[in-house]
Structure 1
Amino acid sequence: MPKLINSTQPPLKFIPHNFNLLILRLMQWWLPLVLRFRTRPWLPAGIVDIQGENAEVLAQLYQQFQAGKIRFLLAFRHPEVEDPLCMLYFISRIVPQVARQKGIQLQYPVHSHFVYDRGMTIWAGNWLGWLFSRLGGVPIRRGRRLDRQAIQTARDLFANAQFPIAVAPEGGNNGHSGIVSPLEPGVAQLGFWCVEDLHKANRTEAVMIVPVSIQYRYVTPPWSKLAGLLSKLEADSGLPVQSIAESAKHEPEIYYQRICRLGEYLITEMEEFYRRFYHQDIPTTIVTAETATSNEVLIARLHRLLDKALQVSEKYFGIPAQGNFIDRCRRLEEASWNWIYRDDLPDIDTLPPLRRGLADWVAQEADLRVQHMRLVESFVAVNASYIQEKHSADRFAETALLMFDMLARIQQSTLPGRPRLGLRQAIIKVGTPISVTQRWEQVQNNRQAAKKAVGILTQDLQVELEGLID
């Protein structure tokens, strides 16, 4: 997250893809070090092991793709910001290695184009846009109702590029290895468009969508560092720090209780914050089913709080509260960008002082108001059963790190790097490819059925991705 914006900014221009084989080779060479030492070179607590399952399936698909028999899209899960790096490692190293072992002939490089969020260059810097462009990336503004240039570019690459294309159908990372967020329909729609484009060009390639799951695990459960993180969060929140005896540091129930205690305290504080300073109607009690557990009541309060926080931003930007939390977050992000990165103004440096001052004022206010949405987007996947049904260090760590993100956003204008709790491994699984061509042939002459088929394909992809999670 960047420092709070104090002035209006130039428009966010589209960054054309400009694939460069040399840059790809350099990135592949550096990749193991980047994964291990991504943000803090002095702290070796990154990803040290990437395991692939069913990589032979993907190797065979690449062989068919390179032979001109199929086109395919990789629809990969997006739980963490490290996902694109892990996918690059998987595609460029593990898949070719398995292909050699199985006698599958592939042309090199084995690579994919990919779609990424245009907002990544805002908090990471313009260098990231330069790098992603040379790796074959296509930026998209997620909140735009129709980002025509990005969609048309992705559509053209899907049908015509020398590599397949990779897209995260969840639209953003949710911080949970074990939860698939509701999928957006864009991946399914791209699939049907690709079939149409090939049909119009009298080409016979079959079109496939390949589900890919990514999960993360700590090599060794980081109980001690997790205890230290919870102590810091308790202290920063104003809660008495709960000490744990050395003999009890590996007892999951203690961590579960601490996280629930901390979560309830934070929700109570934020409820009062929105009730007092933003005049939100938040009753001190919440009506739930008589059989609801205390954890379910807590999650119900959290979801009510998220809704109120979004309403604060939506009221300011004049946006109706429609759709799920993810939909609402994306619309608010785009609304704030429209008021900060002004493409409706001439050169901002030539504006008269009055207009420039007003534009700066609008940008400052928009950036401040959208921070409510930033608090919400980290918690959209939190539910009542995630840490309750499986008392694991991995799930406790994910939840505690989301709380860390929230407190960090509130305490300072920049979001520091997350604390690294330990060395991790990534497990990447390739699912059963879904034929889009067969579905298109059944509905090609029926517009209404074709529209319905996009929704059905999206739901089937959701089921496939959920089935790949342990």
Structure 2
Amino acid sequence: MLYNRKKHHLENSLPKSIHSTQPPLKFIPQNFNPLILQMMRWCLPFILRFRTRPWLTAGVVKIEAENAEILAELYQQFQAGKIRFLIAFRHPEVEDPLCMLYLLSRLVPKAARQHQINLQEPIHSHFIYERGMTLWAGNWLGWLFSRVGGVPVRRGRRVDKLAIQTARDLFANGKIPIAVAPEGGTNGHSGIVSPLEPGVAQLGFWCVEDLQKSDRPETVFIVPVAIQYRYVQPPWAKINWLLSKLEADSGLTVQSISPSQIDNPGEIYHERICRLGEHLITEMEEFYRRFYHQDLPQIPNQPFITRLHRLLDTGLKIAEQYFDVPAQGNFIDRCRRLEEAGWNYIYRDDIPDINSLPPLKRGLADWIAEEADLRMQHMRIVESFVAITENYLKEEPSSDRFAETALLMYDMLTRIQNSTLPGRPRLGLRQVKITVGEPISVTERWEKSQNNRHAARQAASNLTKDLQTALENLIN
């Protein structure tokens, strides 16, 4: 009964599938307001602790930082006009921006006091957020983000000129630093860093160039920051409940376990997740074979991860064929391009006034928008599983990793059953560890790459690789 009530609440709170064409997604200019920021800071502990919206799982009761004094020293040098820097933070969960706000508003000032580092308010940063967040959260989020320093970006666009120009100007000239999640989106894993997008490195090199053109002496840095979530108490009973629900919803016999086995982090949970994963892949393979006429031969003893990757590729190909988008790059790259292609069919920049369309054209536009939204669901399912690896659970069979994997499966089943945005169940209270890494000098790399254009491109690529390595080292 409890779950049914929650389910009813979610169904009446979350956005449903799109059935009509929509106005274009306009750029939301940043309009920083210190008063709004201060109000956010006051409310932050409550927001972190309690779930205020179905899409916000929250339940964070403790946040601690390692090496926060590094950021305190960087802010001191920034405020003295000696450096510019960008915070490149990991993005495993939707709560990451709240955790970063807590880091900058509470933990960095605390570290500054402990190390007798004098700082001026505000200790804050501009940040880049994905424009689509306002679609599932509501227009209020765009209003709020703009007033606490946010810059929206269309991820899939080859060049989002206005967003890039704004971020570039803020990096070089803003009164506070800027923060970016170089993974481009959440992957649901505290222990895996997704492939980084090249935008952070490019912003760094642009900032150096802009400073050089203005004869300014500041040194430019990128600071890697890792965010990891842990449950305060291992939520084995909740994981058992969630797996039982997923088994029932997917048509499997629920695998009951005895009370003595519930808190046993042994093979039983691993076996259940593998059994459920195999079943879901088999069902989806048959779905694509029968209704989308895909050639998915049944190969005996084929490794699980091979089947999963083949299935993800199939889902993306179906959407790519519809939108006429080339299948280039890794899964994340392909998801980004498909998202932008779908938005171009739904949020029509080419229609000045939707309401002025004659009924025929309006009907056709609505038809295209609805079908585009359905085709994008293939990509949304793929998004949930891009970071899955074969050995993630075997390497560390912890309750945290079992919970992450089970919740990703929940996302998939909920997307198929109900809405475009699943409301996750809360499995337990969580604590967060934020680790600040050593700053990476962009200026030094830029100076060494001025011989030719090829050297500059290689330097940007190497910077992205080194940032990836730095983030991976911070979580290991």
For the 8 Å contact 2:18–2:370, the answer to whether it is kept is yes
Runs of 4+ off more than 2 Å:
38-41, 413-416
Deviations 1:3-44 (A, max 9, x none): 111111000000000000110000000001101113459x99
Bigger drift between 70-79 and 349-358 goes to: 349-358
For the 8 Å contact 1:213–1:430, the answer to whether it is kept is yes
* SS at structure 2 position matched to 1:468: helix
Distance 1:349 1:96 in 2: 51
For the 8 Å contact 2:66–2:436, the answer to whether it is kept is yes
Distance 1:106 1:140 in 2: 30
For the 8 Å contact 2:87–2:222, the answer to whether it is kept is yes
Listed as ranges, the gaps of 5+ residues in structure 2 are: 1-13
- Once the two structures are TM-superposed, the CA of residue 299 in structure 1 deviates from its matched residue by 1.1
- Once the two structures are TM-superposed, the CA of residue 444 in structure 1 deviates from its matched residue by 2.3
Structure 1 residue 193 and structure 2 residue 199: aligned?
A: no
- Once the two structures are TM-superposed, the CA of residue 345 in structure 1 deviates from its matched residue by 1.2
Q: 1:443 to 1:352 in 2, by over 3 A?
A: same
- Once the two structures are TM-superposed, the CA of residue 346 in structure 1 deviates from its matched residue by 1.9
Residue 19 of structure 1 aligns with which residue?
A: 32
Please report the TM-score for the alignment, with normalisation by the length of structure 2. Answer: 0.95
Residue 321 of structure 1 aligns with which residue?
A: 327
For the 8 Å contact 1:45–1:422, the answer to whether it is kept is no
Identity %: 74
- Once the two structures are TM-superposed, the CA of residue 2 in structure 1 deviates from its matched residue by 2.5
For the 8 Å contact 2:51–2:58, the answer to whether it is kept is no
Residue 108 of structure 1 aligns with which residue?
A: 121
| Root mean square deviation, CA, Å | 1.3
Distance 2:339 2:197 in 1: 16
Residue 46 of structure 1 aligns with which residue?
A: 59
Residue 391 of structure 1 aligns with which residue?
A: 397
- 1:429-468 residue pairs with structure 2 within 5 A? 429-468=435-474
Please report the TM-score for the alignment, with normalisation by the length of structure 1. Answer: 0.96
Deviations 1:182-237 (A, max 9, x none): 00110000000000000000000000000000000000000001100000000000
Residue type matched to 2:146 in 1?
A: S
Deviations 1:98-137 (A, max 9, x none): 1011100000110000000000000101000000000010
Size of the alignment, in residue pairs?
461
For the 8 Å contact 1:45–1:421, the answer to whether it is kept is no
Distance 2:319 2:287 in 1: 15
Distance 1:173 1:414 in 2: 16
Distance 2:87 2:422 in 1: 31
Distance 1:337 1:302 in 2: 27
Residue 346 of structure 1 aligns with which residue?
A: 352
Residue 294 of structure 1 aligns with which residue?
A: none
- Once the two structures are TM-superposed, the CA of residue 248 in structure 1 deviates from its matched residue by 1.1
For the 8 Å contact 1:211–1:432, the answer to whether it is kept is yes
Residue 56 of structure 1 aligns with which residue?
A: 69
Q: 1:286 to 1:176 in 2, by over 3 A?
A: farther
* SS at structure 2 position matched to 1:421: coil
Deviations 1:306-343 (A, max 9, x none): 00000110010011111100000000000000010000
Deviations 1:350-384 (A, max 9, x none): 11111111111110110111100000000000010
Residue 298 of structure 1 aligns with which residue?
A: 304
Distance 1:145 1:85 in 2: 29
Distance 2:72 2:197 in 1: 27
Which of 157, 178, 199 is 1:144 aligned to?
157
Distance 1:226 1:45 in 2: 17
Distance 2:379 2:15 in 1: 15
Residue 291 of structure 1 aligns with which residue?
A: none
- 1:265-304 residue pairs with structure 2 within 5 A? 265-285=279-299, 297-304=303-310
For the 8 Å contact 1:286–1:301, the answer to whether it is kept is no
- 1:217-256 residue pairs with structure 2 within 5 A? 217-252=230-265, 253-256=267-270
For the 8 Å contact 2:85–2:177, the answer to whether it is kept is yes
* SS at structure 2 position matched to 1:429: strand
For the 8 Å contact 1:71–1:206, the answer to whether it is kept is yes
- Once the two structures are TM-superposed, the CA of residue 62 in structure 1 deviates from its matched residue by 0.4
Listed as ranges, the gaps of 5+ residues in structure 1 are: 289-296
Deviations 1:405-452 (A, max 9, x none): 000000013534201000000100000100000011111242111011
* SS at structure 2 position matched to 1:467: helix
Distance 1:338 1:9 in 2: 10
* SS at structure 2 position matched to 1:139: strand
Distance 1:465 1:396 in 2: 22
